[in-house]
Amino acid sequence: MDDSRFAGAFLFRPRSWRRVLRFGGIAIVAAVSPSTYSVRAREVAVRQVYYTAWQVLPGYAAATALLSLFLIEVVAAFAHKYGISAYSLELVLNVLVLELVPLLTALFVALRSGAAISAEVALLAVNGELDDAAAANPLHAELVPRIAGAALSVAALTTLGCVVAVMLTYVAYYGFNVAGATEFTRIVVNVFDGPELVGFLFKCLLFGLAVAIIPAATALEAERGVLRSLPAVVLGGLVKLFFAILMIEAAALMMKYA
């Protein structure tokens, strides 16, 4: 069976999704337990944050800034053309900050680290390091720190992206002065009201969990001693991850605009 067909089987195989959910539950419980983070586990988590978020920080900030400026110009031109300029700022904040930045951050981290995490965990599984009775709890030592680091990276980059987008939106509409601070603050508070903020935070949480858990959980399906299973589980994890991200975004939009 070729890798693409095998990866498709991961997407449509209920047993594989059940494994993801079961592993996710165990990993989340372990991740919130302070006893999980030994010296070795903290080192793994910090290294994961470094490679996933810190190394790409300048590029991510630049990409977010360019996307923000482009969308601001497009929305402003569209609003002016159809005579709805009074609503353009609120529209920019809704589309850019609440929808695009979290989605693109999740995709960015998925592309950056999803395959890497999946390949690392799959290699450990193939080599039998995750079920070696002589090893200290491999879930706590190897998997949970990677999951915690990846989830933290998604949260950190999303926060940075939203801050950059909001700042550039203010500059684009009011320039480099504080004259519009009161009006801008009122619009931001109106956009980020209670239900919107809760939905936004919950969606970001789901994105972070999906990016962190799905590649690792799928990688555990690699066969011990069979190196040929590595490409299939890595590709299968990415397919499932992108599917999950799109489903989370679709569900969030349906709940928001229903």
Q: What is the pLDDT of residue 135?
A: 43
Mind listing the pLDDT tens digit of every residue in the chain (258 residues)? 444 445 555 566 777 788 888 888 888 888 777 777 778 778 888 888 888 888 889 889 999 999 899 988 888 888 878 877 778 888 888 888 889 999 999 998 888 888 888 888 888 888 877 665 434 456 666 678 888 888 899 999 999 999 999 999 999 888 888 888 899 999 888 888 888 888 899 999 999 999 989 988 888 887 777 777 777 888 888 888 999 999 999 999 888 876
Give this prediction's pTM.
Answer: 0.85
pLDDT value for 225: 74
Please, what's the largest Cα pairwise distance for the chain? 70
Which of these, 53, 18, 21, 237, lies nearest to 157 by C-alpha position?
53
The parent domain of residue 208 ranges over 3-257
> pLDDT at position 40, please?
79
Matching residue, tokens 């070729």: 2
How many Å apart are CA 106 and CA 123, to the nearest integer? 24
Q: Write the DSSP string, 179-193.
A: TTHHHHHHHHHHHT-
Domains contained in the chain, number: 1
